[in-house]
Amino acid sequence: MKKELIELRVNGRLHELAVEPNAVLLDVLRQELQLTGSKRACDDSSCGACTVLLDGVAMMSCTMLAISCEGQEITTIEGVSEHGSLAAIQKAYGDWGGAQCGFCTPGFIMTVKSLLAENPDPSEADVRAALSSNLCRCTGYNQMYDAIRSAIKAEREGSAVTK
């Protein structure tokens, strides 16, 4: 299949890439850009392990064509840390046991980033509704909920997250 030349802006860097028209964004991120934080799991658009942000909005990178993403700002889990240190939400996931096996964690964190960008002070129902986009087979949702609450508190107080 003839490849097409496209430009993708990922985590603030512009990449010029030759991609096959049927390549999904997830495969381009993982195989062309070696950004392997976003995961392929269910392969049928239900688990959310591949979630990334497009212009700040959470979407499933396994269910979109890479060439449709030209001109949009793509953020992956690799672009979440701030100045080389963990973002509040990443640190809170560690502190509160929000990650068990860790496979679904990048997708969950992107979903939560999208929620907090839209609504910096979500209610319990808002957080739980947002988490319903992603599946965790270790059943760690309650720890994630605690981690998110803690990260929101830490962001508000501008202090380090402590348990």
Partner 1 sequence: MSLPPFKVLRPRSIDEAVGYLEKHVANIRVLAGGTDLIPSMRQRLFSPEYVLDLSGVAAMRGVRPQSDGGVEIGSLTTLRVIENSGFLRQHYPVLAEAAATVASPVLRNMGTIGGNICLDTRCLWYNQSLTWRKGCGFCIKKDGDLCHVAPGGTKCWAAFSGDTPPALLCLNTEIEIAGPSGVRRIPLQDFYTGLGDSYRKLQANELVTRVFLPASSADYRGVYRKLRVRGSIDYPLAGVAVVMRHSSNGHSIGHIADVRIGITAVNPAPLLVKGATDLLAGKEMNDLLAEAAGDLAAKTAKPLTTSALTPEYRSEMIRVFTKRAVLAAAGMN
Instruction: Show the tokens assigned to 139.
Output: 């059943």
- Please identify, among the stretches 30-38, 97-105, 128-136, 145-153, the one whose residues bind partner 1 according to the rule CB under 8 A: 128-136
Q: How far apart are CA 12 and CA 7, in angstroms?
A: 12
Neighbouring residues of 94: CB distance < 8 A, sequence distance ≥ 6 = 86
Q: Is 120 in the site for partner 1 (CB under 8 A)?
A: no
Between helix 88-95 and helix 105-118 the angle, nearest 10°, is: 130
Q: Is 59 in the site for partner 1 (CB under 8 A)?
A: yes
Q: Which of 92, 88, 61, 93 is nearest to 74 (CA)?
A: 61
Q: Is 112 in the site for partner 1 (CB under 8 A)?
A: no
Nearest residue (CB) to partner 1, 108 versus 161? 108
Q: Is 144 in the site for partner 1 (CB under 8 A)?
A: no
Q: Is 134 in the site for partner 1 (CB under 8 A)?
A: yes
Near partner 1 by CB under 8 A: residue from 90, 133, 143, 150:
133
Near partner 1 by CB under 8 A: residue from 29, 130, 151, 161:
130
Near partner 1 by CB under 8 A: residue from 5, 14, 44, 139:
44
CB 30 within 8 A of CB 39: no
In Å, how far are 30, 41, 107, 112, 125 from 129, measured between CA atoms? 28, 21, 15, 11, 6
Q: Is 57 in the site for partner 1 (CB under 8 A)?
A: yes
Nearest residue (CB) to partner 1, 52 versus 154? 52
Between helix 88-95 and helix 141-157 the angle, nearest 10°, is: 130
In Å, how far are 10, 79, 111, 161 from 53, measured between CA atoms? 10, 10, 8, 24
Q: Is 24 in the site for partner 1 (CB under 8 A)?
A: yes
Q: Is 65 in the site for partner 1 (CB under 8 A)?
A: yes
Query: Which residues of the chain form contacts with partner 1 (CB under 8 A)?
Result: 1, 4, 20-22, 24, 43-46, 48, 51, 57-60, 63-65, 67-68, 111, 114, 129-130, 132-135
